[in-house]
Amino acid sequence: MRLTDTSDLWWKTAVVYCADVETFHDTNGDGIGDIEGIGRRLDHLVELGVTCLWLMPFYPTPERDDGYDVVDFYGVDRRLGSLGDVVELVRTAKDRGLRVIADLVVNHTSNQHPWFLEAREDPKSPYHQYYVWREDKPPDTSEMVVFPGEQEAIWTKDRKAGKWYLHHFYRHQPDLNLSNPAVRTEIAKIAGFWLELGFDGFRVDGVPQLLSLGPSNEPKNDDVANPHDVLRDLRSFIGRRRGDAVLLGEVNMPYDQQRTLFGESGAAELDLIFDFVAMQYLYLSLARGDAGALATALKNRPAIRREAQWAVFVRNHDELTLDQLTEAERGEVFAAFGPDPEHQVYGRGLRRRLPPMLGGDQRWLRMVYSLVFSLPGTPTLFYGEEIGMGENLAAPGRHAVRTPMQWSPDPGAGFSTAHPKTFPAPLVEGRFGPEHINVEACRTDPESLFNFLRHLIDVYRRHPELGWGQLEILDQPLPCVLAHRAATGEASIVAVHNFSSDAVSTAVKLPGVQPGHELHDLIAARWRDEPGGRQSSDRPLVVDDEGRVEVQLAARGFRWFGAPQPPGTRGSQAEPPALG
């Protein structure tokens, strides 16, 4: 790894922050967040240490799926602002050292999109071939729906067209026919448009559905022999238009299928993929107080091309899906963190944020975020995570976690001066409401989660081996402890995390490290202390004659160490070729 690699491939050590425009900050008092509101709050992100802002959809929409039902891919919803506001936001973000990526919704459109309106009117229109149709009645597809209980099938008959159209998501979101070269050209134009306005890449929505091109009525063209060509073509186009732009994929699939979506050097597809597998097994380990499930998942992480990276996260803007766990394992997580039916959704996930699930336990919260930031990957935060926001279960479905950002203890949470009844979603109430949890209070509280994350991000950014290193699970005897090392050819970090509610001591084996070497703590001592407990020591730990080091951990404690580099260790991928 060279120092210049950390800027050329900036996404490998980025800190990504996801913001929903309409629930972040309202500047005109209409009760709805706006683009200008994001701009006014950029300094909050900079103070936290964020390096990349991810904007959820801001395109014109009928608002039947929180903006993911798009009617114009080249515009901005009038409620949220204008193209001019977007340009000002991107320019200001660049001034603050932030990159900006946007949601690229290319699976489907709204059924109110002009393309679909013309497609259903005239089967001879070129836009008719923008969608996937069938004339015969489809079989039962109830097992294929994405949102059980909210949809019954993935085909719906359009009365005007007299045919059935495909929709992997809601019936008001007809799937685009990605086998049609004209559609792929349009997608490239959309991406090119936003790149010209200064965006640094895209988060690609629903990649598994994107790859399911869907049955069609034998389209005349057959040049898409493999659906991966869609992503390869898009990645290639973006690289030509903007060499340092990134594609971040929403891919909730098993590891063996995810690996193919990274592509190979010279035939790249996605640059970043959300690690849904590790996320789900993290929650299983938290429920059990046993690190084994997560350790096994991490050992199964496949090798990926050097330029690519995993995106690690605690939760996102959707349900906290647990669909890759077995039914019994999912039941364990439900019992621990969402036992009430109102906590659960679609039979596979939770509609809660982490702080309420952990009972507001600050030590436990710090341990989870320490773990996520210590794993080789790119940490991604959902707005409000940095202050420990909760959810409002009165909001329907996935919207329980998409509540207005809590900036202050004011009646409108500092989000808006309008009456809360006009807000896109209800404010969080009770223990995690804005009167108790808000940015103003967290900034001035030296023990707040916000200030802990500031420190954590600072350490993470100063140690690029956490983004570039090869992951190694280290041997130690306790089931409740996860010890791992991230190593490059130049440096390594050792992290040890205790999933137990009891303090423990464990001997961690460090292959390749000579006896007598010292390990120095990287996380400040005050964050490793138990409240009211003894002060942690910053004295280095010394490797014994058997290549082990004894690590003391508080209940749900954690420690990061700068460690000697094992001989012959390289990064997770091959070194770059020489230039020239």
- Which tens digit of pLDDT belongs to each residue from 335-390? 999 999 999 999 999 999 999 999 999 999 999 999 999 999 999 999 999 999 99
What pLDDT shows up at residue 38? 98
Per-residue confidence (pLDDT) for residue 569, from 0 to 100: 52
Look at residue 219 in the predicted model and tell me its pLDDT.
37
Q: List b or e across 367-394, with b for residues whose CB sees 16 or more CB atoms inside 10 angstroms.
A: bbbbbbbbbbbbbbbbbbbbbbbbbbbe
pLDDT band for 536, please (50, 70, 90 cuts): low
The CATH number of 5-106+201-459 is: 3.20.20.80
CATH code linked to domain 470-563: 2.60.40.1180
Does 205 participate in catalysis according to the annotation? yes
- State the span(s) of the chain assigned CATH 2.60.40.1180: 470-563
| From 22, 250, 307, 391, active-site residue | 250
570 vs 152, residue with greater confidence: 152
Residue written as token pair 């949601």: 103
* pLDDT tens string 488-524: 988 899 999 999 999 999 999 999 999 999 999 999 9
Give Cα 380 to chain centroid, integer Å.
5
Outline which parts of the chain fall under CATH 3.20.20.80. Answer: 5-106+201-459
- The larger pLDDT score, comparing residue 201 to residue 230, is at 201
Nearest to 13 by CA among 474, 485, 562, 459: 459
Burial class from Cβ neighbours inside 10 Å (0-12, 13-18, 19+) for residue 477 reads exposed
Give the percent of the chain with pLDDT over 90: 84
Are β-strands 155-158 and 133-134 bridged in parallel, bridged antiparallel, or unpaired? Answer: unpaired
Is residue 298 predicted with pLDDT exceeding 90?
Answer: yes
**Rounded average pLDDT over 409-429:** 97
Question: pLDDT grade, residue 563 (50/70/90)?
Answer: confident
Amino acid at 83: L
Check: CB of residue 297 under 8 Å from CB of residue 279: no
Whole-number mean pLDDT of the chain?
Answer: 92
Of 62-66, 248-252, 257-261, 567-571, the one with minimum mean pLDDT is 567-571
pTM confidence score = 0.94
Name the band, by pLDDT with cuts 50, 70 and 90, for residue 538. confident
CATH C-level class of 114-166: alpha beta
- Whether 250 is a known active-site residue: answer yes
What is the rounded CA–CA span in Å between residue 308 and residue 210?
20
The conformation of residue 578, written as its DSSP 8-state character, comes to P
Among 67-71, 224-228, 230-234, 375-379, where is mean pLDDT lowest?
224-228
Residues of the chain with CATH 3.90.400.10: 114-166
Quick one: three-class SS letters along 111-161?
Answer: CCCHHHHHHHHCCCCHHHHHECEECCCCCCCHHHCCCECCECCCEEEECCC
Among 160-164, 215-219, 295-299, 457-461, whose mean pLDDT is lowest? 215-219
Catalytic residue among 20, 26, 205, 386: 205
Q: Answer whether 285's CB lies under 8 Å from 481's CB.
A: no
β-pairing verdict for 492-498 and 541-542: unpaired
The predicted model gives 272-292 an average pLDDT of 98
- At 305, the pLDDT band (50, 70, 90 cuts) reads very high
**Is residue 226 over pLDDT 90?**
no
Q: Give the pLDDT mean for 454-482.
A: 96
Other C-beta atoms lying within 10 Å of the C-beta of residue 158: 17
Largest CA distance in the chain: 79
